[in-house]
Amino acid sequence: MGGGAAAMPDYELLELVLFRAIARRDVKPLARALLDRFGDFSGVISAPPEHLSEVAGIGPAVVTELKVVEAAAHRLAQARVIGRPAISSWDALIAYCRASMAHRGTEQFRVFYLDRKNVLIADEEQARGTVDHVPVYPREVVKRALLLDASALILVHNHPSGDPTPSQADIAMTEEVRRAAEALGLVLHDHVVIGKSAEVSFRAEGYL
């Protein structure tokens, strides 16, 4: 309580969570098995329930506890960006994207819609796809922006492979959205690709 979350390594934090679901039992071996399988604390709580259940000793109570922690983490991260200027809260925005997308097993494409002051007014999932593809429809993206009375947008999607390097399809799609947005007086600020341990900004890399 005195040192906060930063004072505990991943395995200790995970042990505390597991102890809530499995009382009166040494959970160290289970915590180690989960970390060995999923990499780190974030990977564990973000893992699909069916994958968690494949680890010996993991039952419904543990899965539920981990998913509650994941949901709380997402809500907290989202609360730090919704209703705030996206550009000046960029680090918080990226942290939210990492928490919600970095460990997904399939691609997800979402759009952050901003008002005239670049305040984030909506965070919406536009599409889900497979392990290496997600269908994106530029007309739907800009149509939704008009319905929300947005003035700008930021595109975000994840690469389940872990490598955030944009593909040629990512680059082409982004250009289509940029042109569609520009035709309607909307600004595409950025497109961010989220990997497991890093992300790539189209704006920073010169793609936009």
Q: For the segment 112-141, what is each residue's pLDDT rounded down to a tens digit?
A: 999 999 999 998 888 766 555 567 788 889
pLDDT digits (tens, 9 = 90+) for 165-183: 999 989 999 999 999 999 9
Q: Quick one: pLDDT band at residue 13, thresholds 50, 70, 90?
A: confident
Domain positions in the chain? 8-76, 85-205
pLDDT of residue 35: 92
Name the fold adopted by 8-76: DNA polymerase; domain 1 (1.10.150)
Query: Which ranges constitute the DSSP H helices of 39-137?
Result: 41-46, 49-52, 60-79, 90-101
More confident residue, 150 or 105: 150
pLDDT digits (tens, 9 = 90+) for 141-167: 999 999 999 999 999 999 988 899 999
The tokens describing 36, both together, are 């060995």
pLDDT of residue 148: 94
Residue 200 has pLDDT above 90, yes or no: yes
More confident residue, 81 or 99: 99
pLDDT of residue 133: 59
Residue 92 CB partners (closer than 8 Å, separation 6+): 77, 80, 81, 84
pLDDT of residue 147: 94
Q: Which secondary structure element, helix H or strand E, spans residue 121, and what is its range?
A: strand 120-128
Same fold, 8-76 and 85-205: no
Distances in Å between the Cα of 201 and the Cα atoms of 155, 191, 207 are 10, 6, 8
pLDDT of residue 65: 92
For range 10-23, the mean pLDDT: 85
DSSP 152: E
Q: Directed axis angle between helix 60-79 and helix 90-101, to 10°?
A: 160
| 3-class DSSP state of 98 | helix
Q: Which secondary structure element, helix H or strand E, spans residue 158, and what is its range?
A: strand 152-158
Residue 24 CB partners (closer than 8 Å, separation 6+): none
pLDDT digits (tens, 9 = 90+) for 26-73: 888 899 999 999 888 888 988 888 999 999 989 999 999 999 998 888
Residue 22 has pLDDT above 70, yes or no: yes
Strand partners for 124: 111
CATH class for the domain made up of 85-205: alpha beta
Residue 36: CB atoms within 10 A of its CB come to 9
Residue 95: CB atoms within 10 A of its CB come to 15
Residues of the chain above pLDDT 70, percent: 97
Find out whether 111 and 93 touch, Cβ atoms under 8 Å. Answer: no
pLDDT of residue 102: 84
Q: Quick one: pLDDT band at residue 20, thresholds 50, 70, 90?
A: confident
